[in-house]
Amino acid sequence: MGELKLPEIDYGALLPMLILFGAACVGILIEAALPKERRHAIQLSLALLSTVAALVAVILARDIRTITIGGAVAVDGPTLFLQGALLLLGLVSLLLIGERSLEAGGAFVSQAAITVGSQKDLRQAGSQPGGPEVYPLTLFALGGMLLFVAANDLLTMFVALEVLSLPLYLMCALARRRRLLSQEAALKYFLLGSYASAFFLFGVALIYGFAGGVQLSQVHDAVVTPERSQVLLYAGLALVAIGLLFKAALAPFHVWTPDVYQGAPTPITALMAACTKVAAFGALLRILYVSFEGVRWDFQPVLGGIAVLTMLVGAVLAVTQTDMKRLLAYSSIANAGYLLVGVLALNRDGLASTMFYLVAYGFSVLAAFGIVTLVRDADGEATHLSRWAGLGRKSPLFAGLFTFILLAFAGIPLTSGFTSKFAVFGAAIEGGQTWLVIFGVITSMLLAFPYLRVVVMMWLSEPGESTPSVSIPGALTSAALTIGVVATLALGVVPAPLIDLTNDAAQFVR
Amino acid sequence: MSNFPFLSILTLLPLVGALVVAFIPSRKSQLAKIVALGWSLAVLVLSIVMWIAFEIGGDRFQFRESYPWIPSWDVRFTFAADGIALVMLVLIALLVPLVILASWHDAEQTKRSVPTYFALLLALECTMIGVFAAADVFLFYVFFEVMLVPMYFIIGSYGGARRQYAAVKFFLYSLVGGLFMLAAVIGLWVVGGRTFDWQTLVNADLDTTTARWLFLGFFIAFAIKAPFFPFHTWLPDAGGAAPAGAAALLVGVMDKVGTFGILRYCLPMFPEASRWFAPTALALAVIGIIYAALLAVGQNDLKRLVSYTSIAHFGFIGIGIFAFTTQAGTGSVLYMVNHGLATGLLFLVVGMFVARRGSALVSDFGGAGKLVPVLAGVLFFAGLASLALPGTAPFVSEFLVLIGTFTVHKTYAVVATLGIILAAAYVLWMVQRTTQGTLNPALTEVPAMQRDISLREKVVVAPLIALLILFGFYPKPITDVINPAVQATMQDVGTTDPAPTAVANGRTAP
């Protein structure tokens, strides 16, 4: 029996995560200790402040390149960049989550699991202010995401996956309106998510059997050693990949996305569309680039097929949608396909461009869902497409902003959508994946149609009886919208600083 | 003087004007119109000064400016104009004020914001100037795509009966072409050494197969834009639904981006691929001439008829480009200018008829010359110019194209000549059915039809008529400017003329 050796811990590198988890725990204590009416403001401030503090910690740690806490966490360029991106996007999501002026009591109810339609449920959906538990939950989810993109061994990655997923499952069920849809979404997400987690864990076990360790560098060393069992390797890689592809909403593991995006409270949908995507792709990048780079010729065609399938499914099904949130869900699926094209470049440009794309898309999608929260009538948000007809006449400002975001999604130049597509496609051609780019271009054409249809609806149709009014956003939503739109424009017009940042950050430590 | 940043100012000036006009409140629509007109006249003056400053016989590209934009991708704001671009820039600057003046009352009939309409026209001018002035492939692409957005809203918001359908069709067609070009642009960037500089890319040594694929990517985009058969079906819809002034810009200038793009990008960058593709392009062009002319004969809608005549004319430009002789090339570029003047005039006059009658159908007119003799005379002149009557400018260009083509491709030239006969048929028959013959009694009941051409309309048509006659007898000012550029382009393609040409000696009028 040797001595038990304590691992070295670099607290500076871990500080962002520690801040978020600490603030989340404090948030729970506040729930227990403070009177109900004062909690909301305090919780919201705590969440925003801790996110900002974590962001500052990331910025302070920007030069750290280390593997710490016994090899469990790698803090390197991609980690810090993605953590910064997650915190920024999380901050904007928190602004949307914290908005209470659009609806009495906010977009959330306080208890998720009450039978829908029961007196108690009607009461809580009717007038009771929503529970502020949603803020600590968001912080836990964000903390999990930060750990997910930093995890340097597969078990830590699994723990992070669960930490980020469980709060999201719960928050999906908290929608104030259309409670049944919300609970259904949560249950679906939970069940399918659990399967995905199980797949992931099983894959980790197989890879452990293959490599004799779970650290990514150990796996890498085993992969480049020829005489190991290939069956364990491929089966393990496939299962781990399935777990990640599920979180990233890539076909054929995407089926939960439209239902969950539609049923979840819109601010949470925004959080998932922006941040979960960053986290899932961050982990996918790390696993593929750090551990399995040695078998790239084996997984590249398979994942390439998945990318093509995802782009096609997302684009084709987006054409047929009649609900705004589902439309944006399918669009996010297609965008996951474009991201995977960037990942599959498997070169430094691929890493840099994927990170650029994640940030650019995150801001645009937050702004898009932010506008969805504003278009409402007496029954809450009016998400059916036909209801958006003539919105340009009723509210030119918001229709104009939404049009701009849609043009960004369609990849028109001078928006971030164009620069990010250019970046990933350029990296993919560089990486020899021209066929993926061709499919990317074809699906972009298909995808332009649903976006354009919405633009036509808003501007060229006459407003009908049922065109809902657009609520005047409160300060928080206004801020979130402004940040999202300005970022979309800025990353389209002056993308150079962020491109340079991603290029500098695009180096994993092993 | 040539150090003055002409091109960037010429590009930005209309954009500033668009912003100014956009912020004029709707109730001050008269002010908006005057500001827009004044602004476009300022652009015209600047472009004329630029024409004077252009050194004939000097460098191929003049007024070169270059500023960094995205350094890590080597994207720069590089502007430079050769003779071809110069004449197109002046054509734009000339047409826009005329179109603004001609559209003076158009926007009021649509119940939509009048200042927005004129702001969109100026924004369109900015993008059109930018696309001809750019000498950086990325910058060109940006303008090429962004150009769609103002035109989309002009057609969709201010157009005729089928405006929504036409606007979406226009946007999707162009976007499809644009995305093919995007793939080619990215591919070119990767294989051409990660640069967008036009000169570097022209000198780059590309693999034959790659160059052919890239050529096709560019060519499809330009063929849709121009439009060449079989990519033409969007133009009659867009031209038919757009307000007459915007249609004049659409056909007179915007579509020339296609032919200009072939001359500036396809031919010099992919000379081998251009020669390889030339037989197909010639065949498509000749089919376009005959097919579109036949369809034009059968049209009952004036604006659609003019659109089809344009497709036929673009066929002539196409054979002139792909014949690869200096004579035919010069003829093509001259054709681009003359067609802008002639078809611009035709569209504007047709717009005056349509505005009076409230219908674009030929069958709704009949004997209109008895009510509005001067306007009918202008229509007749515009028609004659459009069918290339000797003495009008288009004759010179059509003749040059045909003899230039005849020296190398006798069959194509002979078949294309049939197009002239068909042109006489569709123009004369249209003029006869609308303005000659017995007076349609329904016309006498339309009060607006009793007003002959107004002073404002005279100011619109007079410069165009004067230029058409002037260049019909004395095209030297234009040919002097474009000839060196065309010769340089032909050198880039690597073809030599079969015999000494009349153009080279400065004798252009036959």
C-alpha distance from residue B267 to each of B74, B258, B485, B495 (Å): 23, 13, 13, 11
Judged against a pLDDT cut of 50, whether residue A488 lies above it is answered with yes
Judged against a pLDDT cut of 50, whether residue B210 lies above it is answered with yes
Side-chain half-sphere exposure of A499, counting CA atoms within 13 A: 23
Q: Which residues pair with A381 in a beta bridge?
A: A376
Q: What is the pLDDT of residue A407?
A: 93
- CA distance between the termini of chain B: 36
| CB–CB contact A422 B168 (8 Å) | no
Judged against a pLDDT cut of 80, whether residue A438 lies above it is answered with yes
| CB–CB contact B179 A495 (8 Å) | no
Chain A residues lying within 8 Å of B182, measured CB to CB: 411, 421-422, 425, 441
d(CA B497, CA B331): 14
Structure tokens at B140: 């060109």
d(CA B458, CA B474): 24
d(CA B381, CA B348): 13
| CB–CB contact B72 A499 (8 Å) | yes
- For residue A492, the tally of other CB atoms under 10 A from its CB is 23
Min mean pLDDT across A21-30, A155-164, A377-386, B132-141 is at A377-386
User: SS3 for A416?
Assistant: helix
Q: What is the pLDDT of residue A368?
A: 95
d(CA A501, CA B44): 43
Residue B509 pLDDT level (bands cut at 50, 70, 90): very low
φ, ψ (nearest 5 deg) of residue A101: -85, -15
Across B390-456, the runs of DSSP E, i.e. the strands, are: none
Q: What is the pLDDT of residue B55?
A: 87
Look up tokens 């204590």; give the residue: A29
Q: What is the pLDDT of residue B510?
A: 43
C-alpha distance from residue A228 to each of A231, A273, A293, B316 (Å): 9, 39, 16, 67
Q: What is the pLDDT of residue A196?
A: 93
Residue type, B330: T
Cα nearest neighbour of A502 on chain B? B72
Q: Does B171 touch chain A (CB under 8 A)?
A: yes
User: Over the stretch A45-81, which tens digit does the pLDDT of each residue have?
Assistant: 999 999 999 999 999 998 889 998 888 999 999 999 9
Mean pLDDT of B375-394: 91
In total, how many domains does chain A have? 1
Indicate the helix (H) or strand (E) that contains A96: helix A77-98
Q: What is the pLDDT of residue A457?
A: 85
Mean pLDDT of A316-323: 93
Question: B439: distance to nearest CA of chain A, Å?
Answer: 37
Name the percent of chain A lying above pLDDT 90: 69
Helices A216-224, A179-211: axis angle to 10 degrees equals 50
Q: What is the pLDDT of residue B229?
A: 83
d(CA B229, CA B314): 9
Q: Which residues does A126 contact at the CB level (< 8 Å), separation at least 6?
A: none
Q: Let me know if residue A3 belongs to a domain.
A: no
User: Over the stretch A333-383, which tens digit does the pLDDT of each residue have?
Assistant: 999 999 999 999 999 999 999 999 999 999 999 999 999 999 888 778 888
d(CA B269, CA B212): 11
> Which DSSP string do the residues of B31-56 spell out, in sequence order?
HHHHHHHHHHHHHHHHHHHHHHHS-T
Judged against a pLDDT cut of 60, whether residue B455 lies above it is answered with yes
Q: Does A319 touch chain B (CB under 8 A)?
A: no
Chain B residues lying within 8 Å of A503, measured CB to CB: 72
CA B297 and chain centroid, separation: 22
Closest to A437 in 3D by CA, of B136, B139, B192, B181: B181
φ, ψ (nearest 5 deg) of residue B194: 50, 50
d(CA B411, CA B405): 9
User: Over the stretch A199-234, which tens digit does the pLDDT of each residue have?
Assistant: 999 999 999 999 999 999 999 999 988 788 889 999
- For residue A11, the tally of other CB atoms under 10 A from its CB is 9
For testing contact with chain A, the best of B23, B67, B70, B174 (most A CBs within 10 A) = B70
Mean pLDDT of A230-254: 92
Q: Which residues pair with A375 in a beta bridge?
A: A470
Residue A391 pLDDT level (bands cut at 50, 70, 90): confident
User: Over the stretch B342-360, which tens digit does the pLDDT of each residue have?
Assistant: 999 999 999 998 888 888 8
Indicate the helix (H) or strand (E) that contains B69: strand B62-70
In chain B, positions 93-152, which contact chain A (CB-CB < 8 Å)?
141-142, 145-146, 148-149
- For residue B411, the tally of other CB atoms under 10 A from its CB is 11
Q: What is the pLDDT of residue A117?
A: 81
Structure tokens at B419: 């197009």
Structure tokens at A71: 């090899």
> Which DSSP string do the residues of B369-409 spell out, in sequence order?
GGT-HHHHHHHHHHHHHHTT-TTSHHHHHHHHHHHHHHTT-
φ, ψ (nearest 5 deg) of residue B227: -95, 145
Structure tokens at A492: 């389209």
Taking a C-beta distance cutoff of 8 angstroms, is the pair B188, B200 a contact? no
Structure tokens at A159: 């723990």
Closest to A137 in 3D by CA, of A167, A164, A160, A111: A167
Question: A239: distance to nearest CA of chain B, Å?
Answer: 33
| CB–CB contact A456 B164 (8 Å) | yes
Min mean pLDDT across A267-281, A388-402, A465-479 is at A465-479
Judged against a pLDDT cut of 60, whether residue A107 lies above it is answered with yes
d(CA B55, CA B323): 28
Min mean pLDDT across A119-128, B293-302, B387-396 is at A119-128
Indicate the helix (H) or strand (E) that contains B67: strand B62-70
Structure tokens at B386: 């459009």
Q: Let me know if residue A2 belongs to a domain.
A: no
Name the percent of chain A lying above pLDDT 70: 99
Taking a C-beta distance cutoff of 8 angstroms, is the pair A497, B71 a contact? no
Taking a C-beta distance cutoff of 8 angstroms, is the pair A245, A336 a contact? no
Q: Let me know if residue A4 belongs to a domain.
A: no
Min mean pLDDT across A415-419, A457-461, B198-202 is at A457-461
Judged against a pLDDT cut of 50, whether residue A327 lies above it is answered with yes
Residue type, A444: S
Taking a C-beta distance cutoff of 8 angstroms, is the pair B382, B460 a contact? no
| CB–CB contact B156 A460 (8 Å) | yes
Q: Does A410 touch chain B (CB under 8 A)?
A: yes
Q: Does B216 touch chain A (CB under 8 A)?
A: no
Question: B186: distance to nearest CA of chain A, Å?
Answer: 6
Q: Which residues pair with A151 in a beta bridge?
A: A73
Min mean pLDDT across B170-179, B293-302, B381-390, B493-502 is at B493-502
What is the overall mean pLDDT for chain A? 91
> Which DSSP string do the residues of A309-327 spell out, in sequence order?
HHHHHHHHHHHT--BHHHH
Q: Does B163 touch chain A (CB under 8 A)?
A: yes
Min mean pLDDT across A94-108, A464-478, B218-232, B482-496 is at A464-478
Mean pLDDT of B422-450: 87
Sheet holding A469-470, edge to edge: A380-381, A375-377, A469-470
User: SS3 for A376?
Assistant: strand
Helices A154-172, A134-150: axis angle to 10 degrees equals 150
Residue B2 pLDDT level (bands cut at 50, 70, 90): low
Q: Which residues pair with B75 in a beta bridge?
A: B70
Q: What is the pLDDT of residue A331?
A: 95
Mean pLDDT of A478-489: 94
Q: What is the pLDDT of residue A166?
A: 95
Mean pLDDT of A391-418: 90
Q: Which residues pair with A470 in a beta bridge?
A: A375
What is the overall mean pLDDT for chain B? 88
Q: Let me know if residue A104 belongs to a domain.
A: yes
Which span out of A81-85, A105-109, A373-377 was modeled with the highest average pLDDT? Answer: A81-85
Q: What is the ipTM of this complex?
A: 0.90
| CB–CB contact B176 A460 (8 Å) | no
Residue A153 pLDDT level (bands cut at 50, 70, 90): very high
C-alpha distance from residue B55 to each of B50, B276, B331, B448 (Å): 10, 35, 21, 49
Q: H helices within B250-365, ranges in order?
A: 256-261, 267-269, 271-297, 302-322, 326-357
Sign of the torsion formed by the C-alpha atoms of B436, B442, B446 and B447: positive
| CB–CB contact A414 B146 (8 Å) | yes
Annotate B235-265 with three-state secondary structure.
HHHHHHHCCHHHHHHHHHHHCHHHHHHHHHH
| CB–CB contact B168 A452 (8 Å) | yes
Chain B residues lying within 8 Å of A416, measured CB to CB: none
User: Over the stretch A456-476, which tens digit does the pLDDT of each residue have?
Assistant: 888 877 777 666 777 778 889
Give me the domain span that covers residue A150: 11-505
d(CA A301, CA A313): 18
User: SS3 for A10?
Assistant: coil
Annotate B82-119 with three-state secondary structure.
CHHHHHHHHHHHHHHHHHHHHCCCCHHHHCCCHHHHHH
Q: H helices within B64-196, ranges in order?
A: 83-102, 114-133, 137-146, 148-158, 163-191
Q: What is the pLDDT of residue A44?
A: 93
Structure tokens at B149: 């957005």
